[in-house]
């Protein structure tokens, strides 16, 4: 009889943690792992070191090698540069988590609060080469074997969140799900800056911090920040996810990385003639699902009965009551079928978080962008550095696939700002530098950012081809410093 190898329970739990496919499972197996190894995750300063010492497992070692390489970068000064800082991060979307990882590497105590309990977005994000390189460096492939294999350059939002959640936890970030941020509480008595959270009695409500990073997603504007509206011509986006059965036939179907209308008029004309569907563009990625994102013309949506009644106002036009869901499903399915040459013959919708066909319509007519990326507030002599990252800084137009790359650039820029703060640089200088860098963000492309990916770090000079950290001067950001002068 073949002898069974004795299984070390902590190794088995580690495997479960690595493979976990939902936020709840990740957290559950993480707690189990900590208990198996008798490590308190609240001891953030020693957590990762103890984990490495106590989990003597070859699979874990390959991951430690990657994380150690990252952590040894000179920017972090061995985790000492921000060892006195405490950071609250709002939102466990990809940008909140990516920022949290950098802040913990800088040595700060980092707490993330996320109002949702689970990660459910099937939609797929396009990754620029530097983001792929960055995520590989964090061990993405260990958590998700299919990560960007071959020429793939995309990942579903939920997979990306799972990877980043696992890395965050391993490095000592505290992540609380099911906790909603409702505002800041100003210092009083013995207490410093705190957050009003729901549930109110949640332990994270007692956390006092000197850095607040908001990564609350599109249109989330924390108190003190202003958004600019960039109103363009009417742009109606549709996303659809179909089940990927991973068959050989499905594997043969070519992806569409962005068929812009001006480049492929013939395709769009044929689509219109044969189906009555009129699109500006369409993107198809084969990922955990078959994912499509397209921009559709209003006239064809009205004609096909997707939009019931015409309104000049985009919000009214796309209000749920004015959209026929079944017609929308047909529209998206037909567009997907036609654009893949009929090769995806069995297009069955994947389910969304509500257990319904994963198809949705979005309004991109009016995009938002924050006027500033940073602020400093001072109350009762206690300063709070505030920064925005991700979609709440600049809302992306999804078909262009710029969102997550610019989101990560901003996450690194925010981490650099916190590094400067941690080093004691005067607050107006910190703000002026951050705003100088922010000016570059919306113009970034894979071509005008550094291609020396191995050198890319949170230092803006390693990522932007030409960056002038003093293009905005301290005296120009006085308005971003909000102090209670009477105190
Ligand atoms: P998000 O990923 O939106 O994360 C923000 C997080 O903050 C969320 O988890 C949210 O629950 C949490 N949060 C918000 N308010 C609070 C609060 N008060 N308290 C606690 N937590 C809070 N991009 C594409 O390129 N293609 C797509 O097809 C696409 N589809 C999308 C579909 C949906 C439904 C959404 C919301 C976004 C989509 N995006 C898409 C955008 C993409 O998800 C983001 O660009 C990317 O995830 C990075 O965003 P982020 O981390 O800044 O914000």
Q: Does the beta carbon of 399 sit less than 6 angstroms from any atom of ligand 1?
A: no
Q: Which ligand 1 atom is at minimum distance from the Cα of 160?
A: 47
Residue 151 has a pLDDT of 80
**Banded pLDDT at 1 (limits 50, 70, 90):** very low
Residue closest by Cα to atom 45 of ligand 1: 403
| pLDDT greater than 80 at residue 451 | yes
- C-alpha 425 – ligand 1 centre gap (Å): 32
Specify the range with the lowest mean pLDDT, choosing from 362-371, 405-414, 433-442: 362-371
Q: Does the beta carbon of 204 sit less than 6 angstroms from any atom of ligand 1?
A: no
Residue closest by Cα to atom 3 of ligand 1: 217
The tens digit of pLDDT for each residue in 200-238 reads: 999 999 999 999 999 999 878 888 999 998 888 889 999
- C-alpha 121 – ligand 1 centre gap (Å): 9
- C-alpha 159 – ligand 1 centre gap (Å): 13
Q: Which ligand 1 atom is at minimum distance from the Cα of 393?
A: 52
pTM score, whole prediction: 0.96
Mean pLDDT of 52-64: 95
Specify the range with the lowest mean pLDDT, choosing from 157-161, 162-166, 445-449, 482-486: 482-486
Q: Taking a C-beta distance cutoff of 8 angstroms, is the pair 377, 384 a contact?
A: yes
Task: Sketch the domain layout of the chain as residue ranges.
Answer: 77-227+370-483, 233-364
- C-alpha 173 – ligand 1 centre gap (Å): 20
Q: Which ligand 1 atom is at minimum distance from the Cα of 402?
A: 25
Mean pLDDT of the chain: 94
Query: ipTM for the complex?
Result: 0.98
Q: Does the beta carbon of 168 sit less than 6 angstroms from any atom of ligand 1?
A: no
Pocket test for ligand 1, best of 91, 240, 287 (most atoms within 8 A of CB): 91
Residue 120 has a pLDDT of 95
- C-alpha 73 – ligand 1 centre gap (Å): 29
Mean pLDDT of 161-174: 98
**Banded pLDDT at 193 (limits 50, 70, 90):** very high
Mean pLDDT of 229-252: 93
Q: Which ligand 1 atom is at minimum distance from the Cα of 239?
A: 28
Residue bearing tokens 């949170």: 458
Superfamily holding 77-227+370-483? FAD/NAD(P)-binding domain (3.50.50.60)
Which of 389, 413, 418 is CA-nearest to residue 403?
A: 389
Residue 4 has a pLDDT of 52
- C-alpha 367 – ligand 1 centre gap (Å): 15
Residue 405 has a pLDDT of 95
Pocket test for ligand 1, best of 217, 283, 352, 402 (most atoms within 8 A of CB): 217
Q: Does the beta carbon of 361 sit less than 6 angstroms from any atom of ligand 1?
A: no
| pLDDT greater than 50 at residue 61 | yes
**Banded pLDDT at 6 (limits 50, 70, 90):** very low
Share of the chain above pLDDT 70, in %: 98
The tens digit of pLDDT for each residue in 309-353 reads: 999 999 999 999 999 999 999 999 999 999 999 999 889 999 999
| pLDDT greater than 90 at residue 466 | no
Q: Does the beta carbon of 237 sit less than 6 angstroms from any atom of ligand 1?
A: no
């Amino acid at each position: 009889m073949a002898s069974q190898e004795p299984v070390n329970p902590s190794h088995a739990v580690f495997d479960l943690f690595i493979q976990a496919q939902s936020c709840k499972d990740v957290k559950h197996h993480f707690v189990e792992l900590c208990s198996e190894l008798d490590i308190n995750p609240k001891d953030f300063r020693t957590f990762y070191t103890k984990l490495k010492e106590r989990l003597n497992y070859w699979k874990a070692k390959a991951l430690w090698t990657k994380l150690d390489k990252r952590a040894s970068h000179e920017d972090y000064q061995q985790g000492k540069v921000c060892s006195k800082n405490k950071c609250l991060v709002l939102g466990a979307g990809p940008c909140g988590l990516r920022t949290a990882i950098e802040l913990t590497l800088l040595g700060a105590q980092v707490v993330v609060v996320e109002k949702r309990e689970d990660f459910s977005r099937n939609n797929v994000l396009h990754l620029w080469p530097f983001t792929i390189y960055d995520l590989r460096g964090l061990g993405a492939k260990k958590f998700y074997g299919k990560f960007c294999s071959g020429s793939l350059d995309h990942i579903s939002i939920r997979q990306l969140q799972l990877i980043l959640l696992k890395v965050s936890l391993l490095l000592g970030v505290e992540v609380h799900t099911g906790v909603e941020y409702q505002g800041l509480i100003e210092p009083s008595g013995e207490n410093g800056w705190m957050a009003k959270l729901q549930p109110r009695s949640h332990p994270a409500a007692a956390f006092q911090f000197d850095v607040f990073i908001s990564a609350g997603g599109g249109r989330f504007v924390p108190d003190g920040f202003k958004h600019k509206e960039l109103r363009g011509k009417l742009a109606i986006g549709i996303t659809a996810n179909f089940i990927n059965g991973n068959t050989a036939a499905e594997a043969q179907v070519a992806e569409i990385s962005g068929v812009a209308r001006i480049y492929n008029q013939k395709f769009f004309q044929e689509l219109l003639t044969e189906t009555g569907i009129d699109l500006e563009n369409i993107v198809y990625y084969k990922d955990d699902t078959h994912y499509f994102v397209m921009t559709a013309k209003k006239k064809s949506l009205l004609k096909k009965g997707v939009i019931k009644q015409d309104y000049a106002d985009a919000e009214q036009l796309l209000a749920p009551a004015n959209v026929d869901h079944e017609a929308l499903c047909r529209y998206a399915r037909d567009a997907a079928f036609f654009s893949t040459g009929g090769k995806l013959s069995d297009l069955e919708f994947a389910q969304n978080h509500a257990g319904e066909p994963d198809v949705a319509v979005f309004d991109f007519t009016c995009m938002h962008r924050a006027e500033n990326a940073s602020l400093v507030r001072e109350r009762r002599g206690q300063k709070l550095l505030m920064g925005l990252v991700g979609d709440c800084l600049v809302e992306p137009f999804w078909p262009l696939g710029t969102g997550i790359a610019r989101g990560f650039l901003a996450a690194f820029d925010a981490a650099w700002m916190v590094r400067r703060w941690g080093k004691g640089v005067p607050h107006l200088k910190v703000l002026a530098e951050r705003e100088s860098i922010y000016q570059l963000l919306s113009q970034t492309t894979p071509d005008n950012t550094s291609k020396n990916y191995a050198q890319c770090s949170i230092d803006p000079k390693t990522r932007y081809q030409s960056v002038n950290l003093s293009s905005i001067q301290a005296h120009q950001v006085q308005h971003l410093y909000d102090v209670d002068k009477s105190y």
